[in-house]
Structure formats: structure tokens, C-alpha cells
Amino acid sequence: MRIVVALGGNALARAGGKGSWSEAVGQMELAAPVLAQVVGRGHELILTHGNGPQVGRLLRQDELAEGEVPFLPIHVLVAESAGQIGYLIQEALAPALRRVRARRTVVPFVCRMEVAPTDPAFRRPTKPVGRYYSDSEARRLRRDARWTMALDRSRGGWRRLLPSPRPRRWLEGRTVRDWLERGFGQSCVPVVTGGGGVPVVARGRGRYDGVEAVIDKDLAAALVARQLNADVLVIATDVPGIALGFRSASPVWLRKASLRQLGAAATRGEFDPGSMGPKVEAVTEFVRRTGRVAIVTEISSLVRALDGGAGTTVSRL
């Protein structure tokens, strides 16, 4: 089978950690044996991943260097984060692959994702990035930097909001698919569209310009899975799967879900817009358009989830 796995932030960084490199490697080493087991079964494995904390860190570094080193645009930071995380995955996954005697090389790609310049997201930024700011800092940044900012009452601070346009086309997708069709998936593990891919808009004559936006990694993963003709899309995260009544005293974890069931639950507002919402949207889109299955699972249960013994498996019926 050809399996696309999207790794969430928790596979890459420990919640509440200091953010050191050795900590990131240690965290990724927890996910690596499970990913290697999938490869050990002979499946083709294609990885993608989020980049929220890593981009937040790059933004902070830019902020601290202000006046000395010019700011880099967000799309460049997305490309940087994909390089950094791709390398992290190489460090941790390569030895795990060796242990299962899989002769595969982890190969990260810097990927561009085309978005529409007319996407309504550009007029209404929704995705929080970077650190929390005080009232007075927020006032200054809105005025001077013209940032859109939102108050997060639970954390008592302001955050910058960026547009999160829908991914339309993965520019390098056809090439990666051609390679897979030639058997490349048996000799390597491609890491693609990290952080949702670098958001670009078409300017004509083969030219694409980066834009100040971030693409949801789950929606990008659904597009990748379709463009690569994957058999299964897996969204690996930090909860056992999709729950109904998630915030209630007794959440019900779904082992199986149909598109109709998920649609009805989404209408009732069961899925938070910044977390489970895009995952449900991503799996729904993949399943609806391909008739194949998609899985939401905790990374540690990945292998069992592929056998239907853990996670939530979403299918048309």
C-alpha cells in the first residue's frame, strides 16, 4: 500500500519542553520505530508534518535580531522549517529503518503549494502564529506593522493572525508521483509539503511568488494523498482519534466513522476549528473524492490503526 502519514506537532516536539534540538530528536525517536514498522511491512511511506512551533521560533529569532538582520518573509520561514524538520526526521528515522533492515533513505523536499490570490482567507486571517503579546505591544504592532491580531483570553495575550488559504496544487507533486510510479517508494521515504508547503501564487510564465500566509498541514496532506494516489491517508496526532463529546465528561472515541456521521457531528460543532476541525475536513475530502479510507490516530498506535484496531477509520459508508 501507499500510505501518506501527516505528523502533528507532538511527534516533533514535547509539550512543555525547552525546545532544544536534542529534545526534538528524542521526541522524533519515539515516533520513528512505529514508522519503521510500517516500512518493514513493505508499504510505501510518504511523510508530511506540521511546523507551528518551529516557525514560531524563527519568528522570535527575527524579532530579537531586529535592527541588525533583516526580517525574512513568512514563506521563507516555512521553507526553512521544512528543511530543519526534514533533517530531524532523517536523524531519527534512518537508524530505526536500519533496525528493521529496510534499505530506504529519508529524502525531504522543499515543496511549494499554490494558493488562489483571491482566496477569502487573505481578507480574513485566522491562523495564530508566534508568541503572545501584551496589550500595549499588540496596539503598536497593529498600528506600525499592520498585523491582524486576536486576543486569546485563555492565555491572556494577543497573537498575530495569518491568512490560511486552501491548498490548490502541489507544484512538485507530479514529479514525486512519477518517481513513486517507478518504484522509488521502495528505496526512499519522501518527506513532502512540510508545514503545509510554501504558499505561492502563480504570476504567469512559470513564475510563482511566495505570500505571507500559512497552509493547514492536514488540508495539504489530503491534497498530497490525492495527488500521489495514496491508498490511505493517516493523520497522526496526540489523541486516540476522533471523539464525539470531546469536551464532555465521557467522550466517545469512534473506531469507525462514515462521512455522513462526521458531517452531522461537524454541524453540531463537535470539532474545534483550530485543531480537530481541519483534520476532519481533510479526511472527509480525501475519502469523498477517492472512495478510499483515512485514519486519525495517536502516532504510537499507527500500526494497530492500519489494522483497524486503534484510531478512527473514516470511510464513505
Residue numbers at the binding site for ligand ADP (CB under 6 A): 8-10, 50, 237-239, 242-243, 246, 270-272, 275-276
* 207-210 and 198-204 beta bridge pairing: antiparallel
Q: Residue 203 Cβ, how far from ligand ADP at the closest point, in Å?
A: 31
Contact 19, 13 (CB under 8 A): yes
CB-side neighbour CA atoms (13 Å) of 52: 21
Collapsed DSSP state (helix, strand, coil) of residue 44: strand
Q: Are 86 and 54 in contact, with CB atoms under 8 Å apart?
A: no
Minimum separation from the CB atom of position 248 to ligand ADP (A)? 10
CB of 216 to ligand ADP, least distance (A): 9
Nearer to ligand ADP, 130 or 185 (CB): 130
227 vs 297, which CB is nearer to ligand ADP?
297
Which residue is nearest to ligand ADP, using beta carbons? 8
Closest distance to ligand ADP from the beta carbon of 284 (Å): 14
Of 29 and 137, which CB lies nearer to ligand ADP in the complex structure? 29
Q: Closer to ligand ADP at the Cβ: 212 or 238?
A: 238
Cβ at position 78, least distance to ligand ADP in Å: 16
Q: Closest approach of Cβ 220 to ligand ADP, in Å?
A: 12
- Which three cell numbers, joined as nine digits, stand for 254? 469512534
Which helix (H) or strand (E) covers residue 161, if one does? strand 157-162
Across-strand partners of 257? Answer: 314
Opening angle at CA 150, ends 8 and 13, nearest 5 = 20
Please list, residue by residue across 261-295, b when 16 or more beta carbons sit within 10 angstroms of its beta carbon and e when fewer do. ebeebeeeebbeeeebbbbbbbbbbbbeebebbbb
Nearer residue to ligand ADP within complex by CB, 279 or 292: 279
54 versus 227: smaller Cβ distance to ligand ADP: 54
Is 295:313 a contact under the CB 8 Å cutoff? Answer: yes
Per DSSP, 299 falls in state G
Buried b (16+ CB within 10 A) or exposed e, 107-138: bbbbbbbbbeeebebbeebebbbbeebeeeeb
Give the residue numbers annotated as catalytic, written as ranges: 9-10, 127, 217, 279
Give the Cα separation of 93 and 72 in Å (integer).
30
- Pairing assessment for the beta strands 256-258 and 243-244 based on DSSP bridges: unpaired
